Structure 1
């Protein structure tokens, strides 16, 4: 799947409290380990899972892939929403695809390192 551009995407006037929490968790995960990205997802039961980018010699996962994997490993079958904090200009295709595996229409909020929302990917 190609990278998803979020520039020019309509930015909601304000995120819900639950989605703001996802951005906060994603920022914290990124900052805690100095990762390129941080991400968080919320499952069908309201549980949240946060992660940071992993880059090892034999394993590389985007923050969004790892957050989705954590949710799936805990038994989540659907995601309500996701957030990723990144300096990148595009949402990576692998993370986007991972979210879509459990949620064909969940919003993916993309924020900068300062937490400012850049856009939301719906499709």
Structure 2
């Protein structure tokens, strides 16, 4: 799947408190290990999972893939929402696909490292 360009005009004036928390968790995961990206997801029970991207000689996994994997490993079967904090202008295809494996229409909020919402992908 190709990268998802953040749709022009998709920036919401405000996030819900729960979605803003996802952005905060993603920022923290990114900053904690000085990673390129941080991500977080919220499952059907309201539990949250945060992660940073991992790049090793033997493997690479995006922050959003790892957050989804953590949720699934803890028993999540559905996602309500996700957030990615990145300097990129696109949402990575692998992370997008991982969220869609558990939720066809959950919003994926993309924010800058400062926490400014760049846009939301819902498809």
Indicate whether the TM-score tops 0.5.
Answer: yes
Who is 2:49 aligned against?
Answer: 49
Unaligned runs of 5+ in 2: none
Q: Deviations over 1:25-74 (max 9, x none)?
A: 00000000000000000000000000000001112100000000000000
Structure 1 runs, 4 residues or longer, greater than 2 Å off: none
Unaligned runs of 5+ in 1: none
User: What TM-score does the superposition give when structure 2 sets the normalisation length?
Assistant: 0.98
Map 1:1-123 onto structure 2 (within 5 A): 1-123=1-123
On the 8 A contact 1:7/1:119 being kept in 2, the answer is yes
Paired positions, count: 123
**CA RMSD, aligned part only?**
0.7
User: What TM-score does the superposition give when structure 1 sets the normalisation length?
Assistant: 0.98
Distance in 1 (CA, whole Å) between partners of 2:34 and 2:5 is: 24
Report the Cα offset of residue 11 of structure 1: 1.2
